[in-house]
Amino acid sequence: MMAWTDRHCRYFHRLISPNSAAYTEMVTTGALRFGDQPRHLDYSNQEHPIALQLGGNDPKDLAFSAKLGEDWGYDEVNLNCGCPSDRVQNGAFGACLMNEPDLVAACVHAMNTAIDIPVTVKCRIGIDDSEDYAFLNKFIKTVANAGCETFIIHARKAWLKGLSPKENREIPPLKYDVVYRIKQEHPHLNIIINGGITTCEETKTHLTHCDGVMIGRETYQNPYILADIEATIFGHNSPSRDEVAMQMHEYIQGNDFAPHSVVRHMMGLYKAQKGGRIWRQTLSDFAHEPDVIKIALDKMKSA
């Protein structure tokens, strides 16, 4: 979800779903050591509970970055061992780390030593030709022994060669039963399932086998699905779409944020609703106007 789940996206989603956990886009340890820390770490207080997702492979750098996250007020630090992008592979982290469970264990130990908030790991069920259950189970056991109690498992393997990141989200088959088996054999661990989940009914089914469900791209493309999840899973009624839109208008007005950087995350708010096409077109046409959201709402109502 790099370049997607930035602070504006998370604030928007939080308005719809106050009770779900939010994760940042992956931030590399190099960006935090040598880059603009506030740009990568700033967020709104309303975003809690929020986890900082890190990319890296050096225990010292990850401990440093995790401590930054804790000092910044994050509720959790998550190590990404599942991203298959070329950039990540060139840096020898992300999904590549599944081939090095001892290194991941050392990274988790270093982070746990540096901070008091939870350290979690996100991974795949396998990589390339290594997708047998024993491969995943060894990874989970080794990293758990280093102090990781929560694993977010994308129920697809990753092909590090031959598939693009987009293809890695679609071509390798989903094998939810593999994640279920990990939970069955490690009942003391918190196992969160991820990958291809698009409905509230699917979420409910997965929760009978796992401790949690992570939904990524569907919540971006169809964000109001979070309202169904809030009502069904948490028993909480979300604001209406129009109310959410007006709160986002106030968010832009009350901060020094470029309107286009905010509304680009809101295209799907009226997906499959009357006026949805007008909403999307207006957000695109008036993306740099401070009143872009009000303009879009007015155009929808007058259509």
Phi, psi of 147 (to 5 degrees): 115, 10
* Identity at 208, one-letter amino acid code: T
**Size of the chain, expressed as the number of residues it contains:** 303
SS3 127: strand
What's the number of CA atoms in the CB half-sphere (13 Å) around residue 147?
16
Q: Which residues contact 36 (CB under 8 A, 6 or more apart)?
A: none
**76-81 and 22-23 as β-strands: parallel, antiparallel, unpaired?**
unpaired
SS3 154: strand
Spatial separation of the C-alpha atoms in residues 241 and 134, rounded to whole Å: 46
Kindly name the residue from 81, 83, 96, 148 that is annotated as catalytic. Answer: 83
* Identity at 143, one-letter amino acid code: V
Indicate if the alpha-carbon torsion angle 193, 199, 205, 207 is positive or negative.
Answer: positive
Spatial separation of the C-alpha atoms in residues 269 and 272, rounded to whole Å: 9
> Which residues are 244's β-sheet partners?
none
* 83 catalytic per annotation: yes
Residues labelled catalytic: 83
